[in-house]
Amino acid sequence: MDSILVRGGKELQGDIPIAGAKNACLTLMPATLLSEEPLTLTNAPRLSDIRTMTELLGSLGTEVSALQEGKVLAMSSQGPINTHADYDIVRKMRASNLVLGPLLAREGHAEVSLPGGCAIGARPMDIHTDGLTLMGAEIELRDGYLHAKAQGGRLKGAVIDFPFASVGATENIMMAATLAKGTTVINNAAREPEIVDLADCLRAMGAQIEGDGTPSITIQGVDRLHGATHKVVTDRIELGTYMLAPAICGGEVELLGGRIDLLSAFCEKLDAAGISVTETAKGLKVARKNGSIRAVDVTTEPFPGFPTDLQAQMMALLCIADGTSVLEEKIFENRFMHAPELERMGANIDVQGGTATVKGVKKLKGAPVMATDLRASVSLILAGLAAEGETKVARVYHLDRGYEHVVAKFRGVGADIERIKE
């Protein structure tokens, strides 16, 4: 099993290209099931999760070709569609549940296994199935599979009030509603950039959608969607992760393709912590303002708040800040599993339920640590870049799910880092 070896203490200089968004691409790919015509995605990230979704779509009858070294995904769902999404594939990745809405919308029935993914807390399917039920679907859970059938063979529009702003449920219902009969209104909808990106793609395919990026989205169903070509939005989580690299190590790095509007709350916290973020013609330039890092308090919230997917990385920075920081995790439970690993490196962290209190230390020290999930793994690498000595991060297979060429990108700005096979 591979590990990442990091030798800390080097300031970073140069630029890092930011890939297309993993979470956006994983949502856009199932949209191909809504049309018999081709859907082509450009600026696709090259990640293991994308390969898993490719495998899932292939099992459903979609042809997927990875072009231009994987940066372009050409998909066609012209042929007969299999409506059974098998456990052996779906269990590998949470986003696999996003085939449920499109399959129901196109075929009128579907059998989709309950999904898997990172062990960062319960993410139930109830909000998805409750919304689809309001649209006329009959759904029951049998033998680990959701067996869903649209009454009369076609979903119908409905007013759906989400109990909380679920990204996945918003995406599933949006796709299902594009081919439903009548109008669907999603209230308390998620507002993430990935939602807007999906809406842009669906509109390019002929869908009638308004209000994306706001708490209320309206979709007028149409009889059919056509093909389209769509560019995947910049990955704001990869962007935020690499923005933290010069913040924690020192130096100056330009993030190619970066945009402040994708991470406004995160950028505000960096500014408060003493980190300069400047827009350039190519993206964003990041550096410390005066050499020191100030403690800040962070609360994770749905967009446009501070992203839960950047909490672990931000904690790594705050481990060496002047003063005491408090991080509240309000999206997922069990998302402080990286804290004990950071403590192995000398961090001073006290976790009580969904709150972590971090007292900054002068220096972290290299140590053998273990990644527990995707974002935790890269937070340990960031900590290792700032630490004294050598840090070995084990179980880095998580990294391949969300970061392409992570070692090469860090090495490109001067980090002493390598991937080793054991």
94 is in an annotated binding site: yes
Give Cα separations from 368 to 182, 383, 399 (angstroms). Answer: 57, 12, 17
User: Any known ligand binding at 235?
Assistant: no
CB contact burial 138-168 (16+ within 10 A = b; e otherwise)? ebeeeeebbebbbeeebbbbbebebeebbbb
How is 165-224 classified by DSSP, letter by letter? --HHHHHHHHHHHHTSBSEEEEET----HHHHHHHHHHHHTT-EEE-TTSSEEEEE--S-
Q: What is the pLDDT of residue 116?
A: 54
Q: Which residues are catalytic?
A: 118
**pLDDT for residue 123 is more than 90:** no
Tell me the pLDDT band of 422, cut-offs 50, 70 and 90: confident
Residue 286's pLDDT is 98
Is-same-fold flag (3-19+234-420; 22-231)?
A: yes
Rounded to whole angstroms, the Cα distance separating 139 from 147 reads: 5
Report the alpha-carbon distance of residue 401 to residue 312 in Å, rounded.
16
Residue 191, annotated ligand binder?
Answer: no
pTM (predicted TM-score): 0.91
3-19+234-420 domain in CATH 3.65.10.10? yes
Least confident of 94-98, 251-255, 297-301: 94-98
pLDDT in tens, 179-188: 999 999 999 9
Query: Where are the chain's structural domains?
Result: 3-19+234-420, 22-231
The reported pLDDT for the residue numbered 122 is 44
3-state secondary structure of 420: strand
| CATH number at 22-231 | 3.65.10.10
Secondary structure element (H or E) that encloses residue 59, with its range: helix 48-59
What are the backbone angles phi and psi of residue 248, rounded to the nearest 5°? -85, -25
Please check the confidence at residue 209 and state whether its pLDDT lies above 60: yes
pLDDT of res. 121: 41
320 is in an annotated binding site: no
| 149 is annotated as contributing to ligand binding | no
> Is pLDDT at 81 greater than 60 in this prediction?
yes
